[in-house]
Amino acid sequence: MELNLSLFVHGVPKGQKIWGPQEDDRLYIESFYGRKTDVSVQLLVETFQIGDSLNCYYTYLRSGNLKDKDGRAGSYFALTVRVNAYYSDISNMYNILDAAYRKFIIGTILVDKVAFTNFNVLDFEDISAKLSDLEKEIVGYIGQFSVDSDFVSLDGFVVNPKSEIKAVNLYECNSENLLSHVKTNGNVSVSPMYPMIELMNLTLQKESEIEQVKKNAQIDKDNAINAVKEEYASSDQTISTLKRDLSDLNGKLEAKGVDCSKLEAEIRKLKDSNQRMQTELTSKEEEFGKMVAAKLNVIDKALSELKEAVKMDIIPSTNKLSNICKKVNWKEILNAFHLIVSLIVMSILMLVVVWSNNEPSNPKSVNKDDLKKEIQALENKIMKKYEKFIMDFVKSENLEQPTESFNSRYPKARIDINELSLENPNMKMNATYTVSIKKADNNLNGEWESKDFTINGNTITPLHTGECIVYYKFDGEQVLCRKIMVVE
């Protein structure tokens, strides 16, 4: 099979401009005007048949904070490689086009303003010769870093896809799986900004576990309240029995001419006591509900922190996944369960004391000491159950109490470069600069890290022009960074 590779350049410098494609390909390229994207950089792989021509298009698409030549937002820029076969090394294609964007497009077609990027040309035809050279370079790189088995015939592939495009993280690309998917569906989108499946699964697992703990806490709350209600129902039944006994006694006393006023006063006392107990039950139910809601919010806060971590960490490392788990404050959860169960038992014991102090002697009364022992046994049983659950969870995840983060300790910390200022914000090639941390402890013992600079102690020297980034690492994590524009 004779391979045919071509480069197309398109975007909106001032209205949509296109370089490279012939008439048939223009129908596909023009479809990018106004297309919605959910990430600022991605590689779209799509198979199309236009007329008699069957090709696979690989489009490196940039959008987001991109402005046209006049400064209007909402623009886009793309490099599209058309191949008359399916090129299965998706990661290699992404890396080649990403390098072309960073090394050639930035500074020639686009200008990086740090906060945004805008077009530097009105029409790609103005630099047609340079784009022809870029096409030769890209085609040469693809050929140099590929083998024959990377190119697969498009026979049997779905073309002109209409299904929703699948999103895959760049670092989870699997050539065999993507080949099968594109052959069946005709498209796929690859980006380092898509969430990783491993992190998504971990989040779902933790959500499920915390939801189960919340459900169990609610069940125990309902059971405890029902037990108290049953206790009051038993008290009502005892009072009803006493009323019947008193009624019988009154009949006997009236027959004997005995004054029953003292007994009637005792009945009123019992009624008042019963009313107070019912009022206290209602009050304790409300207090208990508020206390449970407050402690369950502690659990919800831990889950929110885990979700926020998923949202912010686009390409997390194994260490970052571990740090996300460490943010779950397991001791706070255990303390919440201790307080919930203690409140339940305290409420029940208080009601038992009130009942004991107000109930007259009667051979049919419930044994209060036995009832207290049963309540305390229930407390011990519930606490052992949840202590075991929390400690098993902590042991399985190897969690520790989270420590205060660098950014919490030094919220105003920043990277300072002595030789730069507002009047002179850019670095120069082959010059050496001194870096330091401001508004933080001077003895942090952190370290500097960068792919764009040569680092020697607290001095850095640029390796190339354009946007460069230097990071400050503390306890093995990147906690601060600074972008600097380097010029000749």
Long-range contacts of 238-241, Cβ-Cβ distance < 8 Å, separation of 24 or more: 238/359, 238/362, 238/364, 238/365, 238/366, 239/270, 239/271, 239/274, 241/364
What are the average pLDDT values for consecutive 10-residue runs of the chain, which has 488 residues?
90 95 88 92 95 93 93 94 96 96 96 92 95 96 92 95 92 92 96 83 68 78 83 81 83 66 79 83 77 64 52 41 45 58 61 52 53 68 66 59 73 92 92 92 86 95 96 92 95
Strand order across the 459-462 sheet: 414-417, 433-438, 459-462, 453-456
CB 42 within 8 A of CB 170: no
Please report where in the chains the tokens 């139910």 appear, as a residue: 285
DSSP for 429-478, please give it.
Answer: TT--EEEEEESS-TT---EEE-SSEEEETTEEEESSSEEEEEEEEETTEE
In this structure, are residues 295 and 210 in contact, taking their beta carbons and an 8 Å threshold? Answer: no
The CATH H-level superfamily of 406-487 is E set domains; domain 4 (2.60.40.1380)
Largest alpha-carbon pair distance within the chain? 127
Q: At what angle do helices 368-397 and 330-358 cross, to 10 degrees?
A: 180
- 114: alpha, beta or left, given left = phi > 0 and alpha = psi -120 to 50? left
The residue ranges of every structural domain in the chain are 5-191, 197-397, 406-487
Measured CA to CA in angstroms, residue 82 lies from 26, 90, 251, 342 at distances of 12, 14, 107, 69
Listed in order, strand segments (DSSP E) in 274-320 are none
| Extended beta strands in 177-247, E state | 187-191
119 DSSP β-pair partners: 110
Beta strands in 302-377 (DSSP E): none
**pLDDT score, position 405:** 79
**Closest by Cα among 34, 31, 85, 27 to 58:** 85
**Residue 6, strand partner residues:** 82
Tokens 């200008």 correspond to 111
- Single out the residue of 451, 455, 450 nearest to residue 480, CA to CA: 450
pLDDT at 217: 74
- CA-to-CA distance for 141 and 407, rounded, in angstroms? 42
- What is the rounded distance in angstroms from the CA atom of residue 222 to the CA atom of residue 205? 26
Give the C-alpha separation, 183 to 272, whole Å.
81
**Cα distance between residue 450 and residue 432, in whole Å:** 14
